[in-house]
Structure 1
Amino acid sequence: MSLFWIVIRRLAEIEERMATSKKVITREEWEKRLNDVKIRKEDMNKLVMNFLVTEGYVEAAEKFRMESGTEPDIDLATISDRMAVKKAVQCGNVEDAIEKVNDLNPEILDTNPQLFFHLQQQRLIELIRNGKIEEALEFAQEELAPRGEENQTFLEELERTVSLLAFEDVSNCPLGELLDISQRLKTASEVNAAILTSQSHEKDPKLPSLLKMLIWAQNQLDEKAAYPRINNLSNATLEDPTV
């Protein structure tokens, strides 16, 4: 037998031993360990409030504040203003959204050229969507082309958007995703994040990040042990370990 196959065989034996030597943690032992971890209710309430505030559920945040006594770290009134901007973009009313952003804080767009370009790009997309071809060409030339000359990335995005005009049926063209609702949502999300940052608030809620950390930790632990795993994050049910 050649040295190569001897090495392969040894590696296979080692891998097999490692697979069979995984530590098995019973549900009883696992639940005991979980119960030993003390988590304050106040911290859980803050996580919930952080999610409600960041995602813009102002009514739910207000009810949760009254029921739990958890105070949000920003004025809840500003959430309504932020959500009005987000809704305007999602509905295609970009000019209205820009006005509302400037009413909130003019520096948001003054200091974020990429965000302003993407809002103007969305305006162009809405003109094309509504069949206003001449107005779209004029807007692209006067408002977006000068910015494209200063930034190669902006120029590429502009060229891609203007290419929509080359198709009679823009909804079924190769660039049709620009007209999809997901494009509006993407722009709205970018605006939402910028407003949150201007208010010294985290742009992403903490709760989804913690769930991602849970998934990562379980994947790491899978290599070393068999344990009651959480496979369904929606109900967080512990499933018996499989050996």
Structure 2
Amino acid sequence: MTSDDAMEQYEQEPQPEQKIMQKMIYDYLVHSCFSETAAAFGSACQLINNDMEVDLSSQDPTSSLEPRKIMSTMIRNGEIKEAVAFCNENFPGLLGNKTPESNEINFILTCQQFIEYARNDASKALMYAQTELGVFSSINPKYNDTLQDIIALIAYPDPASSPMSHYLSQDRRESVAISFNNYIICNHC
């Protein structure tokens, strides 16, 4: 059997898993906010029509794709307040429902906002810690270790060279963006 014969036989075999795999790839692209790639892939695989309309009233991840993408970009750029405001504007009440999941994502976002302040302005970070971070120690004692770690950032003249510098990394922002994206998908879609 030649390679051409093998290829011809392969192409004639039914591929029932192909659509399932394509749908999984498409779902990953939508989940990860790769809107242009998701649209192109979905269209090429005939999973969607060529006009990928985003219907904000629908309850699937594509309905929130563009707002999630915008918020993820904001977080990756260190614009936490802006991302929270954008979330509140596009998904009213999502961050304020006081569930354990909501408390957790609010904690993550509040910590990241503190970290962004610590990166640039220790006095602003200190004021923010006093007004915003302290609330979380009474919500759940499990937050205390993280609070101690991030507050330590302002004790150093150069937080980027401190033992807690990993909180200032782009990987940390990426992790926060992923957590926030997942929270929106799980609680909105």
Unmatched runs of 5 consecutive residues or more in structure 2: 1-5, 53-58
Equivalent residue number for residue 39 of structure 1: 16
Give 1:161 shift: 0.8
Relative contact order (C-alpha < 8 Å, sep 6+): which is higher? 1
SS at match of 1:107: coil
SS at match of 1:109: coil
Matches within 5 A, 1:1-243: 39-71=16-48, 74=60, 76=62, 78-111=64-97, 112-130=102-120, 132-200=121-189
Give 1:178 shift: 0.7
Name the CA distance, whole Å, in 2 between partners of 1:193 and 1:83: 12
What is the CA RMSD across the aligned residues, in angstroms?
2.3
Name the CA distance, whole Å, in 1 between partners of 2:32 and 2:139: 34
Give 1:38 shift: 5.2
Give 1:97 shift: 0.5
Q: Point out the more displaced range, 58-67 or 120-129.
A: 58-67
Q: How does the TM-score come out when normalised to structure 1?
A: 0.62
Change (3 A) 1:47 1:158: same
Equivalent residue number for residue 214 of structure 1: none
Name the CA distance, whole Å, in 2 between partners of 1:148 and 1:96: 24
8 Å CA contact 1:62–1:76 kept in 2: the answer is no
Residues 174-205 of structure 1, C-alpha deviations (whole Å, 9 max, x = no match): 111011111111111110100111233xxxxx
SS at match of 1:48: helix
Q: How does the TM-score come out when normalised to structure 2?
A: 0.79
Name the CA distance, whole Å, in 2 between partners of 1:110 and 1:144: 16
Which one has the largest radius of gyration? Answer: 1
8 Å CA contact 1:145–1:155 kept in 2: the answer is no
Equivalent residue number for residue 239 of structure 1: none
Name the CA distance, whole Å, in 2 between partners of 1:62 and 1:37: 26
SS at match of 1:110: coil
Unmatched runs of 5 consecutive residues or more in structure 1: 1-30, 201-243
SS at match of 1:182: helix
Residues 30-77 of structure 1, C-alpha deviations (whole Å, 9 max, x = no match): x9xxx7995333222212211211111111211223222213983645
Name the CA distance, whole Å, in 2 between partners of 1:38 and 1:148: 54
Paired residues in the alignment total 166
SS at match of 2:94: helix
